[in-house]
Amino acid sequence: MRIVTDCENCGAAMRLAESGGYLFCEYCTSLRFVSETDEGVVASGAGSGEHCPACRVELKAASVEGQDVSYCDRCRGILLKSAVFRQVIDARIKRGCSREAPNRIADDEALARTISCPRCRVEMSRHPYYGPGDAVIDCCGECLLLWLDHPELTVIVKAHQQRR
């Protein structure tokens, strides 16, 4: 995993364990437990170097279903690569992950909002997610990144499960 933060005991890099529940230091074997958010995001506490396109705070390095993402602990949005998005959805469906999600309908206001890509600063395109679920996805065609507002990930997974 790419997610790293410095060990509080020795200063060496800590890495996220494959189980996703804790960080470990390969040098001094210290552990730091991390908590999972309501959408299953495990944040390391370390900054990702990118800023939230919605509220402008630094995003945290995190993981979802073992995949590297960035997470805003203020608005709870998730920034992830387009290729990772499908892997996360597939893993959630395969696992039967069922979290409560509010029923939402994409509206004109959600489609009208504009945000800039945290990486290249170009305005992200915004469109309804074309799979099941009423979510509006922000996309950067240049960087191949997606921004998911809270709770869009859960809404999409729940809709896929209900189709089965």
Nearest to 159 by CA among 107, 84, 108, 101: 101
- pLDDT-based confidence at 11, cuts 50/70/90? confident
Domain ranges of the chain: 1-34, 36-163
User: First CA to last CA across the chain, in angstroms?
Assistant: 32
How many other C-beta atoms lie within 10 A of the C-beta of residue 113?
12
Q: Which strand (E) or helix (H) includes residue 162?
A: helix 152-163
The pair of three-digit structure tokens given for residue 96, joined into one six-digit string = 């039967």
Burial class (CB in 10 A: 0-12, 13-18, 19+), 75: middle
What tens digit of pLDDT does each residue of 19-51 get? 656 778 888 888 776 666 778 888 877 788 999
Poorest-pLDDT segment among 42-51, 65-74, 81-90, 96-105: 96-105
pTM: 0.74
Higher pLDDT, 105 or 149: 149
Q: Assess whether pLDDT exceeds 80 at residue 152.
A: yes
What is the largest distance, in Å, between two alpha-carbon atoms of the chain?
Answer: 53
- pLDDT-based confidence at 1, cuts 50/70/90? very low
Q: Assess whether pLDDT exceeds 90 at residue 17.
A: no
Q: Assess whether pLDDT exceeds 80 at residue 120.
A: yes
Q: Which strand (E) or helix (H) includes residue 68?
A: strand 67-71
Percent over 70 (pLDDT), the chain: 80
pLDDT of residue 99: 56
Mean pLDDT, residues 86-102:
75
Dihedral of the alpha carbons of 80, 86, 89, 93, in degrees to the nearest 10 = -160
The rounded distance, in Å, linking the Cα atoms of 59 and 45 is: 9
Query: What are phi and psi for residue 145, nearest 5 degrees?
Result: -115, 150
The rounded distance, in Å, linking the Cα atoms of 85 and 107 is: 22
